[in-house]
Amino acid sequence: MKYSLLIALSLSCIPAGARTYNDSIAAHRRQYKNEFITEERSPLKGNDTAYLQFYEPDIQYRITTEIKLTPGSKPFEMPTHSGKTKTFKQYGIVSFTIHDTTLMLQVFQNLKLLEDPKYKDHLFIPFTDLTTYEETYGGGRYIDLSTKDIHHGKLMIDFNKCYNPYCAYAGGYNCPIPPVENRLKVAIRAGEKLYGKEHE
């Protein structure tokens, strides 16, 4: 009973909006873990998901960005950690300010995925930051978005939902390497951290 009271009191000190947001991130992460179990090509099975690690949710890393579309961009080959390449095209460039620093990220579309109607609106942002190799996976992290998330020239990016590529857990996967332009000069302490188990 005392333990429950302490929890209630601690929660009462957190603004309702923050509690709601934290709950949404918790639900997102539960779904994320479950997908490892259900996905046939997943590098993780069963209890492996217990070693997934995340930063505490921080609503300051949910950022409204300005997006400049680049419809005339040409397809190019993005290298992957396996040595193969994947064909992408730049969809746009987002700009935003975080930690008093103005930053830009390139937003891409995977041309192979575009052939599947299910992914016709999919957008992809691979990036690294100053936590890379130290607190987060050395190969960078990813963010998935949709063209439907763009409203009046703005795109909401929530770094609390950024995740590791499969290469963070095992070899044999073709994980895109973030381009130089997407190497952020700030620390993004949000989203997924280093995997807590030795790489297979």
CA triple 140-31-85, angle to 5 deg: 35
- Tokens standing for residue 168: 């963070």
**Does the predicted TM-score (pTM) go above 0.85?**
yes
Comparison of pLDDT for 3 and 178, the residue scoring more: 178
Segment 186-196, tens digit of pLDDT: 999 999 999 99
Rounded Cα gap, residues 110 and 122, in angstroms:
8
Give the bridge partners for 142, in sequence order.
Answer: 126, 163
How do residues 58-80 score in pLDDT, each as one tens digit?
Answer: 999 999 999 999 999 999 999 99
Q: What is the mean pLDDT of residues 96-121?
A: 96
Per-residue pLDDT, 46? 83
Which DSSP state fits 115?
Answer: G
